Amino acid sequence: MLIKLELNNIDELTDEETAGVENLFLSCAEGTHVAIADRNTLKALLNFTHLSSRALGSIRNMLSKFSFIANLEKEISFYVQISSDTADPEFTEDLWKLPLSWFSDSQLCTRTILLAENLNDAFFYAFSSPVLSRHADLLKELTVNYELVNGGGDTTADVLAHVADEKRFTICVTDSDQYSPGASEKRTARRCRAVIRACRWPCDLAVINARTVENLIPPAMVRASTNSPHAHRAANDVEYLLANDLLPVARFSDLKSGLHLSKIFSYTDQNAIADWKLLGERLVGHGQLDERCIEQWSCQHDRHNCDQNCCRIVAGYGVRTLSNLVAWLKAEPSAGIVPLLEVPTESPLRTVADRVVELCLAMKIQRV
Ligand SMILES: [Zn+2]
Ligand SMILES: [Zn+2]
């Protein structure tokens, strides 16, 4: 997290506030966060005899790269201000202001939590974000540091509320589970949004603009990670959709189990039905689906229920695709993997990446 210290009357800091300064600059030395202040404040802090030599070293390090550091708040859209003048937190959408005295508790300075619906999702976002973020340049000088936390699927909102209560800086990433671009978000995303609205602590939420994380994994990466013929067939389907201007189908189909026309007919969300009627017509144009079924919005065949290959919208990768992919990511040298992460400029994965990098931004560890 980028943390901007605003210290007025630096000679009048209480013991608690001085401990807060110590903890915040230690968190820089330990590679946990990035704490900045204006140049005069940093210089004045060098005369603070109460600070440890490691914290002072961290302040000297900030001064040595001050022009780079001072520019960060213009580059980063979400950061925290910590002030010696504030008794209560104040917040707007992208800025939080917190009392310095709170940070006398070193627990508040521990690593940012990267929370997702399970550890595989969290790992995938942690892996892809530094590569895909628009802040890749900043990461030559800085790094990201995070603690991966498992939300446990439908308990993710409860975990989010818990870590916010514990005053842990958190970025939470969830699936939308939407059946189409215009359909409503499902329970986990909605509940997480409600937690964030009520939250009195800097936590950020990114609900992906896709059904699940599987919809955002580049198909070439899935293919590289597994020999499963099912997964390869699904990767081919997804590539076809992406190459033929059928992006919403690729983003909002069930890519774990696959999607057949019969499933679409069972949807009850009116926006999802309206979206799929339009998408269905486009798929008919590509020879993928039977025009009669789309027109009647029910199966017009004699022997099946539109759950056959001829009525396939997209094949499924298989439910274990992401866990296999993560095991493969952990085992392979990243140099070979990074080129497979090429995603379109407007990919929701890039939006997630920017948020993850901003919330998890950290100094590189300084050796004592
Ligand atoms: Zn049919
Ligand atoms: Zn059919």
- Domain boundaries defined on the chain: 2-109, 112-214+331-362, 216-315
pLDDT tens-place string over residues 296-335? 999 999 888 999 988 999 999 999 999 999 999 999 877 8
CATH assignment, 112-214+331-362: 3.40.50
Distance (Å) from CA 294 to ligand 2 centroid: 8
- Closest ligand to C-alpha of residue 300 is 1
pLDDT tens-place string over residues 137-182? 999 999 999 999 999 999 999 999 999 999 999 999 999 999 999 9
Distance (Å) from CA 306 to ligand 1 centroid: 3
Distance (Å) from CA 295 to ligand 1 centroid: 12
Whether the pLDDT of residue 230 is over 70: the answer is: yes
Helix (H) or strand (E) holding 273: helix 270-285
Distance (Å) from CA 290 to ligand 2 centroid: 5
Distance (Å) from CA 48 to ligand 2 centroid: 75
Cα 39 to Cα 311: distance, rounded to the nearest angstrom:
65
Strand ranges (E), 241-311: 258-260
Cα 49 to Cα 60: distance, rounded to the nearest angstrom:
14
- Closest ligand to C-alpha of residue 312 is 2
pTM: 0.95
Distance (Å) from CA 180 to ligand 1 centroid: 21
Distance (Å) from CA 316 to ligand 1 centroid: 19
pLDDT at 86: 86
Cα 34 to Cα 69: distance, rounded to the nearest angstrom:
9
Distance (Å) from CA 284 to ligand 2 centroid: 10
pLDDT tens-place string over residues 260-276? 999 999 999 999 999 99
Distance (Å) from CA 270 to ligand 2 centroid: 20
Cα 361 to Cα 49: distance, rounded to the nearest angstrom:
28
- Closest ligand to C-alpha of residue 304 is 1
- Closest ligand to C-alpha of residue 260 is 2
